[in-house]
Amino acid sequence: MEKKVRVRFAPSPTGGLHLGGVRTALFNYLFAKKHNGTFILRIEDTDQTRFVEGAEEYIVSCLKWCGMVPDESPEQEGNFGPYRQSERKATYKQYADQLIADGYAYYAFDTPEELDVKRKQIPNFTYGLATRGAMRNSLTLTEAEVEALLASNTPYVVRIKIPENEVVSFTDLIRGHVSFETNLVDDKVLLKADGMPTYHLAVVADDKAMEISHVFRGEEWLPSAPIHILLWRYLGWDNEMPQWVHLPLILKPDGNGKLSKRDGDRLGFPVYAQNWTDPKTGDLTKGFKELGFMPEAFVNLLAMLGWNDGTDQEIFTLNELIEKFSIERISKAGAKFDFEKAKWYNQEWIKHTSSKALLPFVKEAFNAQAIVLNDETYLEKVIDLIKDRCTLLTDFVAQSIYFFTAPAGYDLDAVKPKWTPEKAAFFESYALELKEGLTGIELEEKFKSLATAHNFKPGELMLPFRIMLVGGKFGPGVFDIAVALGAEETIKRIHKAIAAFN
């Protein structure tokens, strides 16, 4: 019988959520939904020294924003909880004890100071095959000495005993056959002095307990794979081991190395899903959400970093991604992050989203500037007029503010050199022609016939008219703006601008 698809996204609550982490969550989510499986959020908080207040809530918020709500999580318990590793602490020691009893792990009593001395003596020191015989552990001490140290509560860690001269092989669903020589792998710590497991022991125990079928994780975890495979074997769980999927890295824009938060700071774009404020330092790291990205566009661009469906299609809804997703189409090579392309996705999503659906996003952008808009029908009309001009949701404020408040100033340099009393007279006359209910076409016809009557080419008058209404050389069709503003407001703005131009 085929194993039911159960996948997990297992972040550590240590700070903001990097877009590489969100993409890992996304590929887990798409695979689960495609196969009617279960998408699990498990919080890997065994390293209490790195735990950051608020980070778990932040992770949950990011997933929610992206539309990837877990089927099981600390908030939504299933039958495989608890979903925080720190709450499973009692279960890990039994596995460490079992590994020691079976000869696959050992106690190491070396103090941090003793390890520091070794690091100074031996360049690139690692604790393993070549060095374990010279250290203070249950492989070099007598049974009586070990018993005495344990009885006196001497601090210790438990390390895996990596075998000599073996090759650990497995099949990765992206990379195919992968092999590691055990002589190049060190004896990783499995249980720390505080009784907490390290990632290596916890991840294997939890994946077994939660019946995980496929492990999707970044390729930076590949070097840890032999340790995890040995643990599955040593604990007698070979037949229940999940299938491995090591995802390609998201690279810097130049392709040289993994994209980091520092790169984003240096190049002026976010690498976190949402704004993250470090509770210790108060430092704010900007996120895609607050910059003005639609969640649909963010998810879309992440999916295309290292995956495609084999066609030229680039714009996908979440449901289309679920339908088309397959591991076979994930690339082995790293994917360069291109912020210009990311903005293109967002622009396309804004263009193709109805004004009604954009309404809450745009209201939020205005609220962030302390501008409260209550007339939603009017706002929808405005969104319709300007959405093709916006790349980010935050652009809506600058691109449409003149629909809600008259310009505070004008681009006089664009008008003054060619401004004449005759032009002022034309606009005085045009203001008299305006009344409520005229369409854009009617306004334009009146404008052109009146221009001819005043011996002007309509083109000479269009720019001054635009600047009267919006303050500068931007915005959609000027007659569409006038219709949206209404006759009364348009007349008011014409008179105010004539005074400023004169």
Q: Which long-range contacts (CB under 8 A, 24 or more apart) does 441-450 make?
A: 441/479, 443/479, 443/482, 443/483, 444/479, 447/479, 450/426
Give the C-alpha separation, 273 to 297, whole Å: 12
**Choice among 43-47, 291-295, 352-356, 486-490 with the minimum mean pLDDT:** 43-47
Spatial CB neighbours of 321, under 8 Å, sequence gap ≥ 6: 30, 299, 300, 303
pLDDT higher than 90, residue 50: no
Q: Looking at residue 75, what is its pLDDT?
A: 94
pLDDT higher than 90, residue 166: yes
**pLDDT band with cut points at 50, 70 and 90 for residue 46:** confident
Average pLDDT on 133-140 reads: 97
Residue 234: burial class (beta carbons within 10 Å; 0-12, 13-18, 19+): buried
Tell me the H-state helices in 238-375.
261-267, 288-291, 295-303, 318-324, 339-352, 355-368
**pLDDT band with cut points at 50, 70 and 90 for residue 158:** very high
Q: Looking at residue 144, what is its pLDDT?
A: 98
So which residues are the catalytic ones? 261
Q: Best-predicted range by mean pLDDT among 46-50, 347-351, 364-368?
A: 347-351
Q: Please name the amino acid found at residue 400.
A: S
Average pLDDT on 458-477 reads: 96
| Backbone φ, ψ for residue 335 (5° rounding) | -110, 125
**pLDDT band with cut points at 50, 70 and 90 for residue 224:** very high
Q: Looking at residue 341, what is its pLDDT?
A: 97
Cβ atoms of 158 and 196 closer than 8 Å? no
Closest C-alpha to 20, from 306, 278, 360, 407:
306
Length of the chain: 502
Percent of the chain whose predicted confidence (pLDDT) is above 70 = 100
pLDDT higher than 70, residue 430: yes
Q: Looking at residue 126, what is its pLDDT?
A: 95
pLDDT in tens, 314-350: 999 999 999 999 999 999 999 999 999 999 999 999 9
pLDDT in tens, 181-213: 999 999 999 999 999 999 999 999 999 999 999
pLDDT higher than 80, residue 228: yes
Tokens of 395: 């652009």
* Sign, Cα dihedral of 121, 125, 127, 128: negative
pLDDT in tens, 5-25: 999 999 999 999 999 999 999
Across all residues in the chain, what is the average pLDDT?
Answer: 95
Percent of the chain whose predicted confidence (pLDDT) is above 90 = 93
Q: Looking at residue 32, what is its pLDDT?
A: 98
**pLDDT band with cut points at 50, 70 and 90 for residue 422:** very high
Q: Looking at residue 49, what is its pLDDT?
A: 84
Spatial CB neighbours of 365, under 8 Å, sequence gap ≥ 6: 292, 393, 394, 396, 397
Average pLDDT on 383-393 reads: 96
Tokens of 230: 């040995």
pLDDT higher than 80, residue 1: no
